[in-house]
Amino acid sequence: MPSGTLGFVLLTLALLLPSVDSLVAQDTEEVEAARSLLDERRDVLEFGIDSEIIELLPALEAQREDRLHEEIAEVFGFTLNTELRTKVLSFFRAMEHDALQDEVIQLLENFRDEPRDLILEALRYTESVMQDPPDRVFAALDEISRSNLPRLAPTAIRVTGAVGSEPEVRLLLALLDDDLSNNEVRGAAILALGALGHADAVESLMAILEDSTESDTLRHYSADSLGKIGDPRALPAIRSALTGGDAAMRAYAVHALSNFPGEEDVRRLLTAALRDSNSQVRTFALRGLANAKAGEAFNAVRYRAERDPDQRVRIEAYKTLATFGSTEAFDFLRERYETPTLSFELRSAALTQLVEHDLPGSIESIQKVIAAEWDKRNSRILDHTARSLSILDTNQLNELYVSFLDHPDITMQLYGIRAVGRNRITSQRDRLETIAEDAPNQALRRTARAALESMN
C-alpha cells in the first residue's frame, strides 16, 4: 500500500475511533456521577425531612444499596417519627442486616410503651434477621405472647415458632393450657408448635383435635401441626378426623396424613380420600400419594386425571402420576398431551410434567404435536410447546429449535432464536447474523444480537 494511502487510512481510523483519553474521561464522568448520587443520598439521610427519607428508602432497597447502612441506622436513633422508624426497620429487614438488633430488643422489652405498628415491624425484623436470638429476645417474646394484645400476641407467638428451639416448646404449651389465652393466641401457639416440630407437643395437640367442643379452627390447626411434627402417635386422632362431616376438617386431616408416606395404612386412606366429595380433600390426597410415590394407586389417580369434575384436581392428578415415574404414567400423560379435543389447560399441564420428568421419552410425542399444529394459525398448544422448550438447556432438541426459525410466525421464530442462542447451536451462527442485520422486524434483530452474544 502506498505510504500516502496508509496515512489516510490511519488518519480516518483515528477520527472514527474514540481516543483513550475520551474513554477515560467518559469512565471518570460515570464514576463522578455515581459518587455525586451517593453523596446526595447521604445528605438526604443526614439533613433531609422525614418524608424525603421515607421516599428514599424504597429506592435504596430496590437497588440493594448497602453503602449507607450506618447513616440509615443513625436515622432510626434520632428520629421521633414512628412511620420513619418503622420504614427504617422494614428496610433493614428486607436487606437482612442486623444493624438494629440491639434497638429491636429494647423495643420488644418495652412493647407496652411503643406504637403497635412499630412493635409489629420489630417482630418481623426478629423473624427475618436474627439468626440466633439471645435469651432476652425469647423472654420478651414470651411476655408479648401472654399479653393477649390483638395482632401483637399472635405475631410474637409465630416468631417464637420461627426462631425458637426446644426450650420454647414448653412456653408455647403453657400458653395453650392457660385459661387466660384467647383462641387467637391458642391458634397461633398451635401453629408455632407445628413449626418447631417437637414431639413434646403431640399429646396436647391430639387432645384438641379429638375434642369436639373445641373450635373448628383450633382443631384444624392441630391436625396441620400434628402432620408437620410427623409423630406416628398422632395417626389414630388424624384418622378419626377423616370420618367427620366437616369437609374442611377432612381436608386438614388428609393433608396431615400426607406427612406419613411410609405408613401402608396411610396410603390406603389417601387412596380412599380420592373419592371424597370435596375437591380440596381430593387434591390433598393426590399430593399425599405423590409424596409417598404410591404407584399402587395408579388406577385410582388415572381415574381422577380422566374424569374428575374439577379441572384443578385433574391437573393435580397429572402431577401425581408424573411423580410415580412409571412407563404407564408417562404414556398416559403423552396421550393426554396429544389429544386435540382436550382443553388447552389440560394439554399444557400434561406437557409441563413430561418436560420436567420424562423429556427424552417424550420427544417423539412433542414432534408429533408440533407437526399437527404447525400450519394452524394462533395455535395455543403450539405456542406453549415452543415457549416451554425454548427455555431448556439441552442438546436433545436442536433440530426442533432450528425448525422454529422457519416458521412463518414471528413469535415462533423468536422462540427458535432464543433457544439456538441459549444452547449455543453454532451451526446457526451465520443465520443469526443475517437475522440480526437484515430481519425486517426489530424484535427479531434485537433477539438475534442477544443470542449471538450468548454464544460467544
Could you report the per-residue pLDDT of 308-350, keeping only the tens digit for each? Answer: 999 999 999 999 999 999 999 999 999 999 999 999 999 999 9
Residue keyed to cell 390483638? 150
The whole-angstrom separation of Cα 381 and Cα 419 is: 18
Domain identity same for 56 and 186 = yes
Above pLDDT 90, what percent of the chain?
84
The whole-angstrom separation of Cα 159 and Cα 138 is: 10
The pLDDT, as a whole number, for residue 36 is 87
Domain final residue pick, 196, 214, 244: 196
Confirm whether 248 is domain-assigned: no
Average pLDDT, the chain: 91
Confirm whether 240 is domain-assigned: no
Confirm whether 417 is domain-assigned: yes
State the Rg of the chain over Cα.
Answer: 31
Confirm whether 1 is domain-assigned: no
SS3 220: helix
Instruction: Please give the residue range of the domain that contains residue 168.
Output: 51-60+69-196
Residue 89 carries which side chain, given as an amino acid letter? L
Confirm whether 115 is domain-assigned: yes
Domain final residue pick, 164, 196, 228: 196
pLDDT band at residue 100, thresholds of 50, 70 and 90?
Answer: very high
Residue 111 carries which side chain, given as an amino acid letter? F
The whole-angstrom separation of Cα 144 and Cα 306 is: 52
**Bigger pLDDT: 6 vs 144:** 144
Domain identity same for 276 and 176 = no
Domain identity same for 265 and 348 = no
Confirm whether 408 is domain-assigned: yes
DSSP assignment, residue 439? -
How many residues make up the chain in this entry?
Answer: 456
**Residue pLDDT, tens place only, 190-225:** 999 999 999 999 999 999 999 999 999 999 999 999
Confirm whether 251 is domain-assigned: no
Please check whether residue 103 is in contact with residue 77, taking contact to mean a CB–CB distance below 8 angstroms: yes
Domain identity same for 270 and 365 = no
The pLDDT, as a whole number, for residue 180 is 85
pTM (predicted TM-score): 0.78
Domain identity same for 185 and 98 = yes
Domain identity same for 175 and 76 = yes
The pLDDT, as a whole number, for residue 35 is 67
pLDDT band at residue 13, thresholds of 50, 70 and 90?
Answer: very low
pLDDT band at residue 24, thresholds of 50, 70 and 90?
Answer: very low
Does residue 110 register a pLDDT over 80? yes
- Angle, to 10 degrees, between the axis of helix 183-196 and the axis of helix 202-210? 130
The whole-angstrom separation of Cα 274 and Cα 271 is: 5
**Own/partner pairs, 387-393, CB within 8 angstroms, 24+ separation:** 387/415, 388/351, 388/352, 388/355, 389/355, 389/415, 389/419, 390/415, 390/416, 390/418, 390/419, 390/422, 391/418, 391/419, 391/422, 392/355, 392/359, 392/419, 392/422, 392/423, 393/422, 393/423
Confirm whether 161 is domain-assigned: yes
Domain count, the chain: 4
Domain identity same for 438 and 346 = no
DSSP assignment, residue 18? P
The pLDDT, as a whole number, for residue 10 is 46
Domain identity same for 55 and 187 = yes
Residue keyed to cell 401483637? 152
Does residue 14 register a pLDDT over 60? no
